[in-house]
Chain A
Amino acid sequence: KQEVTQIPAALSVPEGENLVLNCSFTDSAIYNLQWFRQDPGKGLTSLLLIQSSQREQTSGRLNASLDKSSGRSTLYIAASQPGDSATYLCAVRGQGAQKLVFGQGTRLTINP
């Protein structure tokens, strides 16, 4: 059974810092991994999708990496801003599986 863990559960940093969010998964037989952002009381916004054959994906100030063999992904946020404050979720999809298995998320606070 696939399990996804995100550490830390919460993170608070001053504005302008570069930061890394971590995601680990127990079964390396994944098809893809997706990072989401969730604002309080809102739905999920897709940030980046990494296919299992890829090592990283970039979108603006965000960079996500994937090391499938070690069961790890990181989301790098450059030059953080107060508007980046949200909960960040990673999710993996197993090969041939319909469902995304989610981590519990990292609640990020960027202090002005």
Chain B
Amino acid sequence: SQTIHQWPATLVQPVGSPLSLECTVEGTSNPNLYWYRQAAGRGLQLLFYSVGIGQISSEVPQNLSASRPQDRQFILSSKKLLLSDSGFYLCAWGVSTNTEAFFGQGTRLTVV
């Protein structure tokens, strides 16, 4: 069966520090991968998606970037965090665009 792992579960980082959040999927090949952010009062927003290794599409211009160095690995990064980057970050995967989406357990990021 397929599983998705995200880490860390919680993170407190100072403003201006770098960020690296990792997501891996097991039990499937060439999945579509997604990073969403859930901010209080704003719902879930798609940040990045990837349909293959090295292929990244950005939905929202911001202080973040994403990379997909391996087929089932998706990384969310920032060189310098802003207070506004605080939120709950969720990784998701799907077999294709039209199929069910499955989410990880999320990372709670607090920038102080």
Contact = CB atoms under 8 A, between A and B. Distances in A.
Contact of A93 (B6, B97, B103, B106): B97
A44 interface: yes
**Chain A interface helix/strand/loop/mixed:** strand
Contacts, number: 53
A99 B108 contact: no
Interface residues of B, number: 23
Contact of B97 (A42, A91, A98, A103): A98
A43 B103 contact: yes
Given A31-B97, A51-B98, 7 more contacts: A41-B108, A43-B6, A43-B105, A46-B100, A96-B97, A97-B97, A105-B43
What 4 A-B pairs are tightest by C-beta distance, nearest first?
A: A99-B46, A44-B103, A43-B105, A102-B44
